Amino acid sequence: MTKNQEVAVTGMIDMSDSNGAADWAADWNEISEGLRKDLGAQIHTQWIRPIRPGSFEPGSGMLNLHLPSEFSANWVRERFADRLALAWKIVRPEVRSVTIAAAPREADAARPRALSPQPIAPAPRPAMSETGNRISLDPSQVFTGFITGQSNVLAFNAAQRMAAMEKPLFSPLYLKAATGQGKTHLLHAIGNAFAEVNPGARICYCPAEKFMNDFVSAIQRGDSMAFKARLRGFDMLLVDDIQFIIGKNSTQEEFLHTIDAILGAGKRLVVTSDRAPQALDGVDQRLLSRLAMGLVADIQPADIELRRAIISARIATMRMGEVPEDVIEFLARTISRNVRELVGGLNKLMAYAQITGQSVTLPLAEEQLSDLLSANRRRITIDEIQRAVCQFYKVDRSEMSSKRRARAVVRPRQVAMYLAKVLTPRSYPEIGRKFGGRDHSTVIHAVRLIEDLRTRDADMDGDVRALLQQLES
């Protein structure tokens, strides 16, 4: 491969620094090409190709990856951090984790198109990566960035108690939540907050799968005693996705002893899972009793009010201009499966608007997020909508298709047309046919009228919100 080819694939990495840097560039070329095949040319060109490998930290096994802006770094980090880390681990075993951030200004000023890793000799892999007293904590995940609502306030308050200077009334803390609801964010926030009030405390964040892999590696190296001593020396242990060690008898046994050692010494333990302790099939009963002996805090799926708050908070931090209220409402209403998808959808929409120079509008959101919206949208039918509207306004179902023009009939019919457009993928002509064969222009008029009335008439907005909540529940 020529130097120019390498530069094109690796995001303008300078290959002239050293042979070692060229080796890293060649590895990135291989990884980048694989991601292009997996993700497609468009995503690769916009988000992956601009990545530039930065410095490598041999002690911790951390490789720094840089992008041109904080926005693009956040976007890539939220979607592809795990995939990038795995790809680098496969190509370079000495790489154990990656960070993704905007390129440092100093480096950009000095060498605006080049930031190359320093050549290194492969280092022996320790059982766990370590930097100072904070092990694998993400400093950006803090309590102030966690938006609370009725569905997660118990878990949030319990997390703050666990991170406080005072000894908690419960231990361990067990955070239960489905994927993408914020349990990992809380885990990092606990560690970061505890480090602030206990600067000398040793804190470790460890996904359960990494715990298992490091334990097996330690046994294979004949270094299991050192692994155990290191693990039990932490003042706070944060274990993510505990369900991944289910069924691994030797790992469960070691984890059980680790829990006993940590809790017996009065130290702090927090674990997360996608299910309650009692629902962990194949888990040792002794381990189950330890996990359930503290506080089990459930994080429920975010309701629409919390989703609105999350979107608004995210927009405020992005500082990329105004987002219309109808777009915020649309995203909060339709992307309901988990918070990660909600934030990801907003990021995608804002990125597209920024790249193309377009304004953020409802049609743009519908167009760019169609796949995500389809996956989240419960299949609500026009028949359901008509029944709900007729019951709400106390009109006969036949009025949805009748030719009557009385206001008491027309307004509910228009509301039903509006909801049909918002909640179903049906086109204007299809909706018109379900309302007595009306022309598509009649449906367009109804949708625009209700949209306008919602901004001017609090009663109408309240009616529509109540119907939306009823239909989406």
Give the domains, in start order, of the chain with CATH numbers: 3-110 (3.30.300.180), 134-299 (3.40.50.300), 304-376 (1.10.8.60), 382-472 (1.10.1750.10)
Summarize the confidence of residues 158-167 as an average pLDDT.
Answer: 91
- pLDDT at res. 4: 39
Q: For 210-237, how does the pLDDT look when each residue is reduced to its tens digit (9 = 90+)? A: 887 787 787 887 777 888 788 788 899 9
- CB atoms inside a 10 Å sphere around CB 411: 19
- Contact between 239 and 272 under an 8 Å Cβ cutoff? The reply is yes
Q: How confident is the model at residue 35 (pLDDT cuts 50, 70, 90)?
A: confident
Summarize the confidence of residues 385-408 as an average pLDDT.
Answer: 91
CA distance 345 to 364: 12
pTM, 2 dp? 0.56
Residue 143 pLDDT > 50, yes or no? Answer: yes
CA distance 61 to 370: 39
- Range picked from 23-37, 167-181, 278-292 for highest mean pLDDT: 167-181
Return the SS3 of 419. helix
Q: For 166-200, how does the pLDDT look when each residue is reduced to its tens digit (9 = 90+)? A: 888 888 999 999 888 899 999 999 999 999 998 88
Token pair, residue 457, equals 């008439």
- pLDDT at res. 319: 67
- Name the pairing type of β-strands 268-273 and 134-135: unpaired
E strands present in 252-405: 268-273, 295-299
Residue 117 pLDDT > 50, yes or no? Answer: no
Summarize the confidence of residues 36-57 as an average pLDDT.
Answer: 77
The label of the residue with tokens 């039903």 reads 416
- CB atoms inside a 10 Å sphere around CB 250: 12
Residue 418's contacts (CB-CB under 8 Å, 6 or more residues apart) are: 446, 447, 450, 451, 464
Lowest-confidence segment of 102-116, 169-183, 217-231, 412-426 by average pLDDT: 102-116
Contacts by 3-11 with C-beta closer than 8 Å and gap 24+?
5/29, 9/33, 9/49, 10/52, 10/53, 11/49, 11/50, 11/51, 11/52
- Name the pairing type of β-strands 62-67 and 52-57: antiparallel
Q: For 65-100, how does the pLDDT look when each residue is reduced to its tens digit (9 = 90+)? A: 888 877 678 778 877 887 788 778 877 888 888 888
CA distance 108 to 12: 12
- Contact between 131 and 199 under an 8 Å Cβ cutoff? The reply is no
- pLDDT at res. 114: 32
Token pair, residue 180, equals 């993408």
Beta pairing partners, 67? 102
pLDDT above 70: percentage of residues in the chain: 85
Residue 12 pLDDT > 50, yes or no? Answer: no
Return the SS3 of 113. coil
The length of the chain is: 473
User: Nearest 5°: phi and psi at 240?
Assistant: -100, 140
- pLDDT at res. 174: 94
E strands present in 89-225: 97-102, 134-135, 173-177, 203-207
Q: For 324, what's the count of Cα atoms within 13 Å in the CB-facing half-sphere?
A: 12
Of residues 385 and 355, more confidence is placed in: 385
Question: Apex CA 65: angle with CA 6 and CA 310, to 5°?
Answer: 130
- Name the pairing type of β-strands 236-240 and 203-207: parallel
Chain mean pLDDT for the chain? 80
Return the SS3 of 190. helix
Beta pairing partners, 296? 174
Amino acid at 298: D
The label of the residue with tokens 């990021």 reads 347
Q: Taking the mean position of all CA atoms in its chain, how far away is CA 87?
A: 20
- Contact between 155 and 299 under an 8 Å Cβ cutoff? The reply is yes
CA distance 416 to 392: 11
Q: What is the DSSP string of 249-295?
A: HHHHHHHHHHHHHHHHTT-EEEEEESS-GGG-TT--HHHHHHHHSSE
Q: How confident is the model at residue 380 (pLDDT cuts 50, 70, 90)?
A: confident
Q: For 308-318, how does the pLDDT look when each residue is reduced to its tens digit (9 = 90+)? A: 999 998 888 77
The label of the residue with tokens 């709900």 reads 388
- CB atoms inside a 10 Å sphere around CB 295: 18
Of residues 438 and 211, more confidence is placed in: 438
